[in-house]
Amino acid sequence: MTTPAGPPPLPVLGNLLDFGRDPLGFLDRVTQQYGCGVKIRIESERDTYVVTDPAQVEEVLINTGRTFQKGYQRHPLMRLVLGNGLVTSEGEFWLRQRRLAQPAFHRARIASYGETMVRFADRQVQGWQDGQDLNLSEAMMHLTMEIITQTVFDVDLYGDPRAQNVSRAVNTLLDEYAHQMTSAVRALMERLPVHLPVPGEGRLRRAVHELDVLILALVAERRAEDRDHGDLLSMFLSAQDEDGQGMTDAQLRDELVTLFLAGHETTANALTWTFFLLAQHPAAEATLHAELRGVLGGRLPTVQDLAHLPYTAQVVKEVLRLYPPVWWVSREPQADWPCDDVLIPAGAEVGISPWVMHRDAQFYPEPLAFQPERWTPEFEAGLPRYAYFPFGGGPRLCIGNNFALMEAALVLATVAQRFHVDVPEPRRVVPDPSLTLRPKGGLRVQLRARTETP
């Protein structure tokens, strides 16, 4: 075994300053310079080893729950927000929750939400005007919030004050969480030998409490009704394990908050990046419009249409390659793990970056180019399984991946038929790696109405 290489760490701070200034650029640089298994120090008590070989990534993700754990007990902020939901829980508890939640995400059940996704996307663009300046990030966040609120709670943001309150609480929570995650002050204070209150943490805790109150009130109301609304909450309420036990209110709270955060901002960001890239690649946009015109002829899309929109699916795949919603995945080996010729000790952090791996020239010719047409069956057949994993993999594969892919394709097909977007200053648009990969400061666009309208 060899000694792992990596950038020299500073005393106490390790590599935190370089990582904190530009996480994506830092990961690009160190993986290119030092290769797979590069050792960095971004936490106060342990080293992180960044793995970039698909076979090793597969070993880590496939064995999560056995020889690797997610280790979120080390991340109190995430536990504060998500509780013990599917993203953060481990072991037998996670397995039980996954089995209870899985039927709600069956393909047939998910397909039933397609009409809702299209209806809300159509309602959104009905209010847009030719030449209008718009923060597209905010618009997509609002749209996906409408969709997730309707599909989870069967309530409409437009007409139900409860849904509006939940939306405000979720957005506040997301903003505060993103601020805390990227706070250099917080990272430095976590290195102190005594615990001190971190500026802004009180706002985050209040946002969590407000959301908890709202969600638990909706759960109590639905338990009292005892009626199937055809939404995800109804599925969760009726789910039972082999002993006939369902989810407690606390478990429902954790899974619902996880759904809102994981199923809302991630898809909104993917859609925002989609229109950003199409605005800069007119040939790809023209190919997309030709497909939409040929298949849909100006009408609104349906779930059944998706099988006949292969280029639309290729666009979504390529966007998720260049801007994966989750840019960093971490696992904790439960025993010393030999990674090629480097022995990674138990309890260290194994870091995996879809951002880095999705842009590796070894797997993707012209890796920084937006080329939806690369996603042919032949290309995918030759791609290592874990060279592309926008939704993770193994037993912890994102439970809502089919929901997200369907939503992205249907919203894209609905909006792109109506509008083209111009991005006035594309060079100033940079990714902000917080909870998800969002455009820093949002994405300002100018809308251009198209002639083919449903």
Residue 282: burial class (beta carbons within 10 Å; 0-12, 13-18, 19+): exposed
> How large is the average pLDDT for residues 233-250?
94
Distance from C-alpha of 20 to C-alpha of 18, rounded to nearest angstrom: 6
Q: Which residue in the block uniquely carries the two structure tokens 């250099």? A: 184
> How large is the average pLDDT for residues 120-143?
96
Is 128 contained in some domain?
yes
Domain co-membership, 109 together with 150: yes
pLDDT of residue 235 exceeding 80: yes
CATH number at residue 365: 1.10.630.10
Decide which of 295, 317, 352 is a domain's last residue.
Answer: 352
pLDDT of residue 377 exceeding 80: yes
The CA-based dihedral angle spanning residues 26, 32, 38, 44, taken in that order and rounded to the nearest 10 degrees: 0
pLDDT of residue 354 exceeding 60: yes
Domain co-membership, 314 together with 403: yes
pTM of the model as a whole: 0.93
Among 169, 106, 453, which Cα is nearest to 300's?
Answer: 453
pLDDT of residue 164 exceeding 80: no
Distance from C-alpha of 329 to C-alpha of 50, rounded to nearest angstrom: 10
**For the chain, what is the domain count?**
2
Domain co-membership, 124 together with 245: yes
Instruction: Return all residues near 401 (Cβ < 8 A) that are at least 6 apart.
Output: 391
Q: What share of the chain has pLDDT > 70, as a percent? A: 93
Comparing 235 with 187, the larger pLDDT belongs to 235
Is 77 contained in some domain?
no
Distance from C-alpha of 122 to C-alpha of 416, rounded to nearest angstrom: 11
Domain co-membership, 334 together with 423: no
Q: Output the 3-class SS for 359-422.
A: CCCCCCCCCCCCCHHHCCHHHHHHCCHHHCCCCCCHHHCCCCHHHHHHHHHHHHHHHHHHEEEE
- pLDDT attached to residue 44: 74
Measured between alpha carbons, how far is residue 132 from residues 275, 420, 449 in Å?
Answer: 15, 11, 10
Domain co-membership, 155 together with 186: yes
pLDDT in tens, 7-40: 999 888 889 889 988 999 999 999 999 988 999 9
- pLDDT attached to residue 187: 57
Contact in structure between 192 and 45 (CB atoms under 8 Å): no
- pLDDT attached to residue 454: 46
Is 454 contained in some domain?
no
> How large is the average pLDDT for residues 188-215?
72
pLDDT in tens, 384-405: 999 999 999 999 999 999 999 9
pLDDT of residue 95 exceeding 70: yes
Distance from C-alpha of 308 to C-alpha of 306, rounded to nearest angstrom: 5
Other Cβ atoms closer than 10 A to 174: 21
Domain co-membership, 336 together with 222: no
Is 78 contained in some domain?
no
> How large is the average pLDDT for residues 284-289?
98
CATH number at residue 17: 3.30.43
Give the helix ranges, DSSP H, for 182-333.
Answer: 184-189, 201-225, 232-238, 249-262, 265-280, 282-296, 310-322
Structural domain including 245 reads: 83-326+358-449
Mean pLDDT over the full length of the chain = 90
Instruction: Return all residues near 225 (Cβ < 8 A) that are at least 6 apart.
Output: none
